[in-house]
């Protein structure tokens, strides 16, 4: 067995060093985010320092919410030393824009729920504007039906 300080390392150690689970390592491999890794004679995967570094990169990109396709693109740019940083910035900016839209939608949902909760008496009576709103015809996210504001 490979010592834990040397290279290459088995999947569990690679996952630990990269801060991801072994399951995620296999998932990233299945998506082609990592090149095929070497194997021992008995078929166990062996990861190099470069593989672990790439796993850290993917894990960090995931924590920032990048999609797998964006990560694939960013990983390719990271590995291409002749890349144009403008391509990286374009991907990051598009992600920021997407996050802004998602945050705005979630804030609208929060405002809707806050309004509905404030309209609900929260007593022993069965009238409930929250349930009325949920049962109402579909609307755009965050929109309040006029009937849901009744007490």
The number of folded domains in the chain is: 1
pTM over 0.85: no
Instruction: Determine the pLDDT at residue 145.
Output: 52
Instruction: Give the domain CATH number at 74.
Output: 1.10.1660.10
3-state SS, residue 2: coil
Residue 137: what pLDDT?
81
Residue at token pair 């010592």 = 3
pLDDT in tens, the chain (151 residues): 544 569 999 999 999 999 999 999 999 999 999 999 999 999 999 999 999 999 999 999 999 999 999 999 999 999 999 999 999 999 999 999 999 999 999 999 999 999 999 999 999 999 999 999 999 988 766 565 554 444 3
For residue 5, the enclosing domain spans 1-83
Report how far apart, in Å, the C-alpha atoms of 66 and of each of 69, 74, 76 are. Answer: 8, 9, 14
123 domain-assigned:
no
Pairing of strands 45-46, 38-39: antiparallel
| Assigned domain for 145 exists | no
107 within some domain? no
Q: Beta-carbon neighbour count of residue 21 at 10 Å?
A: 14
Contact by Cβ (8 Å): 8, 2: yes
Taking CB atoms within 8 Å and a gap of at least 24, the contacts of 27-35 are: 28/55, 28/58, 31/68, 31/72, 32/72, 33/58, 33/68, 33/71, 33/72, 33/75, 34/58
Residue 151 included in any domain: no
> Residue 100: inside a domain, yes or no?
no
Residue 14 lies in a domain: yes
């Amino acid at each position: 067995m490979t010592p834990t300080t040397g290279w290459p390392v088995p999947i569990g150690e690679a996952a630990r060093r990269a801060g991801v689970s072994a399951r995620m390592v296999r998932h990233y491999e299945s998506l082609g985010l990592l090149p095929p890794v070497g194997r021992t004679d008995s078929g166990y995967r062996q990861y190099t320092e470069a593989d672990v570094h790439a796993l850290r990169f993917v894990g960090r990109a995931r924590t920032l919410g990048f999609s797998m396709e964006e990560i694939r693109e960013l990983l390719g740019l990271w590995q291409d030393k002749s890349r144009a940083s403008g391509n990286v910035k374009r991907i990051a900016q598009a992600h920021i824009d997407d996050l802004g839209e998602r945050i705005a939608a979630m804030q609208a949902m929060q405002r809707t729920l806050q309004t509905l909760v404030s309209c609900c008496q929260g007593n022993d009576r069965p009238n409930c504007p929250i349930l009325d709103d949920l049962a109402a015809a579909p609307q755009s996210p965050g929109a309040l039906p006029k009937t849901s504001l009744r007490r």
